[in-house]
Homo-oligomer: A and B are copies of this chain.
């Protein structure tokens, strides 16, 4: 394998890129040769951006979202509704919900979902700190916004058991057919649920 590469430095860089998920050796080579064609400043800015991120990134001490400061921009924003907490699996989910522009409360990032297959138990996730936030008072509603998977559901049930004794409203994001979905191609479980959980139609969507 070594002999294929005309340069050890090149090989090292390709190896590093090939470690990334979804990047094979051919793609890695293409990316490295692309970077090699850029000027030195651009390459350093690339390399340093990720090193700096890893070194300096913080996680919000309240919601555990990624942040540049001790408390993230959302948790420290006084115009957000601090009485509602939306529980999500990861940082990308926060961004996804934010992008809908339909939510004005705070978040709680679990850092994953319970998955015995992957060795992830409740104690590996930010569940205790969620319970503490609710116990601290001031929280009226906790919205569970986890993926509609077995792991997501397991986590939903676990959190439910933890929060049910407390004085807080527990809700779950709606499950049903997606916008643009055609009925005949929707799976039976989803379609069945969307009939059971039908909502009142008032003439507007």
Contacts and interface: CB of A to CB of B under 8 A. Distances in A.
A31 B35 contact: no
Closest 4 CB pairs of A and B: A47-B47, A47-B51, A43-B54, A16-B49
Q: Taking each of A29, A49, A67, which has the highest tally of chain B beta carbons within 10 Å of its own beta carbon?
A: A49
A30 B170 CA distance: 30
Contacts of A55: 40
Given A9-B53, A20-B34, A43-B54, 15 more contacts: A5-B95, A6-B66, A6-B67, A6-B94, A7-B68, A8-B68, A9-B68, A10-B66, A21-B30, A22-B30, A23-B31, A33-B92, A35-B54, A47-B50, A48-B51
Contacts of A159: none
Contact of A13 (B43, B49, B65): B49
Given A53-B13, A92-B33, A19 B46 contact: yes
Contact of A91 (B33, B45, B51): B33
A74 interface: yes
13 contacts: A4-B98, A6-B67, A7-B66, A9-B52, A9-B56, A9-B57, A12-B52, A15-B49, A16-B49, A17-B50, A21-B34, A35-B53, A36-B54
A178 interface: no
